[in-house]
Structure 1
Amino acid sequence: MTPTDQLLALSKSYCDLRGISERTASGIIFRDSRTIVRVKAGGSLTLKSFERAINWFRENWPDNAEWPAGVDRQPLPTRAKRKEAANA
């Protein structure tokens, strides 16, 4: 599963669980209601935006909900954590 596929699987599952639209989720995560729709249509994201979205889903996933198959649940290192590790 590609990173884009993982993001879209998380988005679809989360929206289905919460009963919200992908535009609503996109607005919450990216502060832009069109981002997920754009990615779905073949658009791209910066690595920073992708990491923020994946980590947001991990932090906000409903406790009683199953995590989508094929999507790693380990948090992605943020830019600050990568920089910190490089300086250690």
Structure 2
Amino acid sequence: MSAIARFIAVTTAFREISGLETTTLSWRLFGDSKKLGALEAGADIQVTRYEKALQWLSDNWPPEHDASWPSDVARPAKTPAPEVAA
């Protein structure tokens, strides 16, 4: 399975859980409402954009659905919350 296919598996699962439209999730991931649809249609993506988008999905995955992350896709560790100055 290619990296793009794994990414689409994760975004599909996220959309099913969240109820977001493809264009809405695409905007949240890329600031471009058409990019996710283009990927689903066979387009390519830069590695940095892919990694940032996959990290966003991991950080924003609904905790009550953690088990729904596709099992054949390695999930990035969540980004640690910034420390609050006392």
TM-score range, shorter chain: 0.7 to 0.9
CA distance in 1, matches of 2:26, 2:42: 16
Count of residues in Structure 1 that have an aligned counterpart in Structure 2 = 75
Higher relative contact order (CA 8 A, sep 6+): 2
Correspondence for 2:71: 69
Once the two structures are superposed, what CA deviation does each residue of 1:46-74 show, in whole Å capped at 9, x if it has no partner? 11100111111111111011211211013
How far the C-alpha of 1:2 sits from its partner, in A, is: 1.5
TM-score normalised by length of structure 1: 0.80
CA distance in 1: counterparts of 2:58 and 2:23, whole angstroms: 19
Q: Which runs of 4+ in 1 moved over 3 A?
A: none
Unmatched 5+ residue regions in structure 1?
Answer: 76-88
Name the % identity.
27
Normalized against structure 2, the TM-score is what?
Answer: 0.82
The CA distance in 1 between the partners of 2:11 and 2:58, in whole Å, is 11
Residue matched to 2:50: 50
